[in-house]
Structures are given as structure tokens and as C-alpha cells.
Amino acid sequence: MKTFMLRKEDVNAKWYLIDAEGQTLGKVATKAAHILRGKHKVTYTPYVDCGDAVVIINAGKVVLTGDKLNKKVYYNHSGFPGGLRERTAKTMLNEYPVEMVERAIKGMLPKNRLGRQMYRKLFVYENTDHKHEAQKPEKIEL
């Protein structure tokens, strides 16, 4: 019996909606990355983008456990001398909640062109408003 390998022409992508309100950042990110990679499907093939699109709403109401709000630090560097910028998780959650959720998910995807292709199917919104009603996303409970 031959092993089934999915071709990119045969991929049928669906849309999923995740409500992050009251959920921990890690649980939301792992579920979203799992769906973006396509590992929830029986037709999963590692070298094909067989994942589905994910819409995350209420990113501003995500929860961090423990003392991560004060101790977790996000770093950016401009590439110039003295260009290191540090922001705590509290600052990120208050000012840039969408970027915080996107960074958590992006870190769980492959670091190659396939991972970048998967990342393009992620849509994160700070509130409940989103522009993907026409795709009829299926709501997922965590």
C-alpha cells in the first residue's frame, strides 16, 4: 500500500474563528499554529501548505499566567548601534495586542518559505469586529 501524499492542487482550505477572550496566549497560539500547518487533517503533508485560514478575535483580552505581564520581555533591534528596543508583555498587551498574538503564533510555524506562506493565512483582530464574515468561518472552542 502506498503512502498518501497531498498535492498543492488538491488542498481544500476552510476558515476557522478563534475567540481569544479569557484564553491564555499559549493555548490560542498552539491551536492556531496547529490549524495553520494543517496537522488537524488526515491529509497532512509536511512539505505542502495544507492548512486552513484562522481568524482570531478579541486579541486584546488574552490572558497571561503567572508574573509574565511584568517579567516577559519582547525584543526588537533596528540593526543600528544602540537600536535595541525592549517592551514588557504588559506594554505589548496594552498597546500592541495584535502583534503579541501574531509573534506567539509565528514562532510556532516553520522558519522557511512554507512557514511564511502559512503565516499569511492568519488574521488577528483586537476586538470582535472582523472583515471575514463572507468566508463563514467555523467557530472553534478551546
Over residues 28-38, the pLDDT tens digits come to 999 999 999 99
Confidence category of residue 17, pLDDT binned at 50, 70, 90: very high
Q: Are 136 and 55 spatial neighbours (Cβ–Cβ below 8 Å)?
A: no
Residue 124: φ, ψ to 5°: -115, 135
Q: Is the pLDDT higher at 67 or at 2?
A: 67
Domains of the chain: 12-63+98-140 (3.90.1180.10)
Q: In 3-state terms, the chain is what percent helix, strand and coil (to 5)?
A: 35, 20, 45
pTM attached to this predicted model:
0.94
pLDDT attached to residue 1: 82
Beta-ladder partners of 10:
none
Place 124 in a pLDDT band, splitting at 50, 70 and 90.
very high
* Amino acid, single-letter form, for residue 88: T
